[in-house]
Amino acid sequence: MGLVNIPGFNVDKLRQCCQWFFSQSWEVKSSLMKKSFNSKSRNVYRGYFPVLENSPSRKEGFEIGADIPADDPDMISGNWFYEKSIWPPENGDFKFKATMLEAYDQLHQIAMDILKLASIGLGFKENCFEYLFRDKPCSTFRLLHYPSWEGSPPDNAVLDEGKAVTTPVHTDSCFLTLLATFQYHGLEVLTPEGTWLPVQPIADGLVMNVGDVLSKMVGGRFVATQHRVLDIGVDRFSVPFFLEPRFDADISMNVLNESKDENSGTIVKYGPWVLKRMEEKGFFEFKNLPKF
């Protein structure tokens, strides 16, 4: 399975970010909504998404990316993968933006270090994948709040064994995910034998999960593990960091045999590819995005 616990990471500041943001008023949060949830909004990719009623994916979230200069060609052309992050107003009680940006940089570096170790483990130079992330990676940093169903989940959230999900089974579409769970239970992974295994939370640490792109580029040597989140009867919080390459990074290569693994000879750009993946998976927070 492509999932491991990484000890030794202090999650206190991430917990503070969750507590601060999700305690904001509906007026503040709705002002940060993506355009698909608020037609008056300008941002389509970054920002806030609310709980969608009667959806098996019961969560609200806020996400940011790394801003690039206004005169960058992708900004000038209107490539919304690189739209500027939108931020809530602060009153001085907590430096939310500064804390989030510091954590983003820290988690990005940890993820890149893990990718170097993975490259060495595959028998390659440690910088094997580095070129894909050069200059302006599209990595996403997200705060999540999973309200409990409080005993009344809709039918589409109820499993055969009577449990209810707050996130249905899926794989992550990125390279790697780093996840802070704050010792909440509820995360489960599907084993190769087809059984569901609870991920035991650790006090100070992260969960690392292999995503679709890395699995794809190594011919399945590392597996993108299917996982889900169960309703645990109380509100649950988590903070994932999704390591993503540049928008135009060519992800068609199978690095194990140095060949194109699909549409031989054709460049497969990460941006359009991951948009298609998100549409196929039906992630409600990414519905109705503009086409490229």
Q: pLDDT tens digits for 203-250?
A: 899 999 999 999 999 999 999 999 999 999 999 999 999 999 999 999
The phi and psi torsions of 209 (rounded to 5 degrees) equal -125, 135
Which domains are assigned to the chain?
3-51+58-67+92-286 (2.60.120.330)
What does the DSSP 8-state code read for residue 54? T
- State the sign of the Cα–Cα–Cα–Cα dihedral 121, 124, 125, 129: negative
Q: Which two tokens stand for residue 80?
A: 């919304």
Using an 8 Å Cβ cutoff, are 48 and 85 in contact? no
pLDDT of residue 262: 52
Global confidence as pTM: 0.95
- State the sign of the Cα–Cα–Cα–Cα dihedral 271, 177, 233, 170: positive
CA separation for the pair 174, 187 (Å, rounded): 18
CA separation for the pair 173, 289 (Å, rounded): 16
Where the chain has pLDDT below 70, the residues are 1-2, 258-265
